[in-house]
Amino acid sequence: MVQSRQSFGAGQGGFRQAQSWLHTWCGLWFSWLLFAVFLTGTLAVFEEPISHWMTPEHHADEAKAADAQASVPAVSLSQRLQWGLAYMERHHPGATMWELWPADPQGGGDLRVYWFDAKGQYAAAQLDPLTGEELKAQPGARQRQTLGGHHFVTFHYELHAGQIGLWIVGAAALAMLVALVSGVITHRRIFKDFFTFRPHKGQRSWLDAHNAVAVLTLPFQLMIAYTGLALSSLTFLPAGMVTYFGADEAARKDFVTRLNEPGKPQRSGQPMPVPNLEPLVLRGQKLMGQPVRAVVVDYPGDAAARVGVYGWNDAQELRRRLSPTTGMVMFSAASSEVLQLRQPGGVEGGSPALTQSVIGSLHMVNSGGLLLKWLYFVCGMAGSAMMATGAILFVVKRREKHLTEFGGASAKVYRLIEGLNVAAIAGLGIACISYLWANRLVPLGLTHRDDWELAVFFVMWLLALVHAWLRPPALAWRQQMALLAALCLLLPVLNVLTTGDQLLAYVQEGDWESAGVELTVVAFGLAAAAAWHRMRRAPAITVRNRRNVTLPAATVTVAAAEQKGLS
Amino acid sequence: MNVWQAGLLATAWALGGMTALALAMDRHYTQWKAADEVPVATRRCLRLCGAVLLAAVWWPAVTGWSVTMSSIFVLGFWSLGALLTVAGLALSPRWLARLATAAASLGGGASLWLLAR
């Protein structure tokens, strides 16, 4: 959005003008959705800390578990494996897969078991690591049922709408790549303006900001859009899979099995008890050089059964490599022979599989550690700012110089776009912070409590849209920014009132996940308050600029309404 | 060098490098000094310093993480340094120049100390 155009349509003007047209319209129509995808995707970088903050009841459990672990004698890995196996033999003898998570990397921690139930669904149970008995949820225990930070992950790639959502976000990601490339071509003085940001200059400032955040983080923006698309390449480009495997559900299942579980045997029908797992686990640990994380038994009770031993990645080591896979050793249950060996970071399936693993890791920032997550967060916020400033620039440009791109309906369409801008940018911020408020305010024990939290997110967003269209744009901006600031700045207060947890106490206890969430929210609150403060002074500039141009009647009415609302 | 030392050093040098490159441009030099254009020698010196500092970001990226991960970190720190430079130029070019010089030199001193240990 660098050049203002007098003529319209991609076909008119030169190549650069055609790219400018493409950038403007492709960018505009997708900017609201892309902003939502980017902002929630950026928050999803810190999925775990957000989930941690949203489940305060677990903090006490975690502390208690840590104390208990320190004060009681450790139970051996061998005993844990035996308990896990005994539980599965007693309760789920017919399951097609058993999965035991015997211990954490230090040999302590939880003892968990998973299996595929009769419907083929993944099911789980937790066993007491001191007795091997199943731990049932205590009656009367109040659990805070929540999607936690995972809401932002799911929303940013499928909008909570399954396959349809995935396709919509995919289309948006493709549009983003188009907008990025056309934007670079359009940006005539990309090197000259590299570090340029001229504040307090109206449209020029918005353009500078849009260019700066985009150009300076361009490698990240290209990478994240491309890897996001490539992650779901099987959905978007299914032709190869369909050609070789077929189009029905069974074919897809077959493909996924061959991709993820190569060499999986067929059930033989000959019964054979599951062997003692400990010798296999000890051999597996030695071969892959990692402590055991999971033991997976395919077809337990059958002679064709196989036992996979998976390792724990070492956090230090994971920081240093791009492929986040763990070590794995697959044994034949009958002969104890090694069927497959995967070293940490390796993949089955050669370079294409490794490429896919790395693409996934690059997008989801699975390796590199905390500092890389913060770099992603900063670049992700810059990307969100790129969409927001682009969308705002579109309107600001047309406020100062009215273009008749939609004929007689231009003023109405611009008004619609401006309303969408307010709701998509400030409104989404309100929806996100309201989701955290809902976590503390929706009563515990409510059926489908997590859905209520989600409902608050969507309802607040919808209300923001209605508000943005009912109020004059400048007033809508100001009011929504004020609400956003208030909700962010008051979140720590709400937390004290509802759970008794304090920001300072988090810091003192070294709970940096919770403290980080609240400090970041407060920082956003301060930024929103500063934006609100600026907006209170901004109308004077807008009005002064308006005096110099001839506006159609409809715009004058909107401007007058704005002034009325603002006075 | 641990991760946090590497991160601080990379940020300091990326900021120093990007600021030097920015101030080597007439448009930003005039924001810093009362002059219409950058003297030729100063421009060369700033560009050389900028390039060297940006290239030097590879060192903490490789030492703090690994050769494999370093390109991702270098691009990330360059972006961070450039964003800080733009913000600094808008707020106060003079203070940005001071901060960038201090960050780059302190980074250099700290890395010499780390190497000598």
ipTM of model: 0.96
Strand order in the sheet with A97-101: A122-127, A111-116, A97-101, A292-298, A306-311, A328-332, A338-342
State the pTM of this model: 0.89
- pLDDT of A134 strictly over 80: yes
* Model pLDDT, residue A546: 41
* Model pLDDT, residue A70: 63
B28 vs A408: which has the higher pLDDT: B28
What residue in A sits closest to B70 (Cα-Cα)?
Answer: A320
* Model pLDDT, residue A551: 36
Q: Which residues of B touch A530 (CB under 8 A)?
A: none
Burial, B66: exposed, middle or buried (Cβ in 10 Å; 0-12, 13-18, 19+)?
A: middle
Neighbours of A3 (CB within 10 A): 16
- pLDDT of A549 strictly over 50: no
- pLDDT of A485 strictly over 70: yes
A68 vs A515: which has the higher pLDDT: A515
- pLDDT of A552 strictly over 70: no
Predicted confidence (pLDDT) per residue in A148-206, tens digit: 999 999 999 999 999 999 999 999 999 999 999 999 999 989 999 999 999 988 899 99
| Tokens linked to B70 | 């370093």
Query: Can you list the positions of beta strands (E) in A56-207?
Result: 97-101, 111-116, 122-127
- pLDDT of A93 strictly over 80: yes
Q: Which residues of B touch A194 (CB under 8 A)?
A: 22, 25, 82
Please indicate whether, in this complex, the C-beta atoms of A368 and B90 are within 8 angstroms of each other: no
- Residues 56 to 75 of B: which have CB under 8 A from any A CB? 65-66, 68-69, 72-73, 75
CB A22 within 8 Å of CB A10: yes
A515 vs A143: which has the higher pLDDT: A515
- Interface residue A369 vs chain B (CB under 8 A): yes
* Model pLDDT, residue A11: 58
Please indicate whether, in this complex, the C-beta atoms of B89 and A197 are within 8 angstroms of each other: yes
| Tokens linked to A96 | 């097609």
- Interface residue A200 vs chain B (CB under 8 A): no
- Interface residue A480 vs chain B (CB under 8 A): no
| Tokens linked to A385 | 């700012």
- pLDDT of A564 strictly over 50: no
In which band, very low, low, confident or very high, does the pLDDT at A399 lie, cut at 50, 70 and 90?
A: confident
Q: Following DSSP, what letter does each residue of A221-281 receive, concatenated? A: HHHHHHHHHHHTHHHH--HHHHHHH-SSHHHHHHHHHHHHSTTPPPP-S-B-PPPPHHHHH
Closest CA to A276 of A299, A297, A298: A297
- Which of A367, A375, A377, A379 best tests the B interface by mutation, with the highest count of B CBs <10 A? A375
- C-alpha dist (Å) from residue B86 to A209, A225, A315, B42: 9, 24, 34, 20
Closest CA to B28 of A208, A564, A65: A208
Cross-chain CB nearest to B83 (options A196, A216, A371): A216
What residue in A sits closest to B91 (Cα-Cα)?
Answer: A199
Amino acid, single-letter form, for residue A300:
P
- Residues 154 to 193 of A: which have CB under 8 A from any B CB? 192
Predicted confidence (pLDDT) per residue in A330-355, tens digit: 999 999 999 999 999 988 888 888 89
B79 CA: distance to closest CA in chain A (Å) = 5
Predicted confidence (pLDDT) per residue in A363-384, tens digit: 999 989 999 999 999 999 999 9
CB B42 within 8 Å of CB B103: no
Across chain B, mean pLDDT equals 95
In which band, very low, low, confident or very high, does the pLDDT at A137 lie, cut at 50, 70 and 90?
A: low
A400 vs A96: which has the higher pLDDT: A96
Please indicate whether, in this complex, the C-beta atoms of A371 and B82 are within 8 angstroms of each other: no
- pLDDT of A288 strictly over 90: yes
- pLDDT of A303 strictly over 80: yes
Query: What does residue A292 show for φ and ψ, rounded to 5 degrees?
Result: -70, 135
Predicted confidence (pLDDT) per residue in B14-61, tens digit: 999 999 999 999 999 999 998 889 999 999 999 999 999 999 999 999
CB A183 within 8 Å of CB A215: no
- Interface residue A224 vs chain B (CB under 8 A): no
Query: What does residue A59 show for φ and ψ, rounded to 5 degrees?
Result: -60, -45
- Which of B15, B38, B83 best tests the A interface by mutation, with the highest count of A CBs <10 A? B83
- pLDDT of A145 strictly over 60: yes
* Model pLDDT, residue A562: 38
CB A62 within 8 Å of CB A87: no
A198 CA: distance to closest CA in chain B (Å) = 7
* Model pLDDT, residue A557: 36
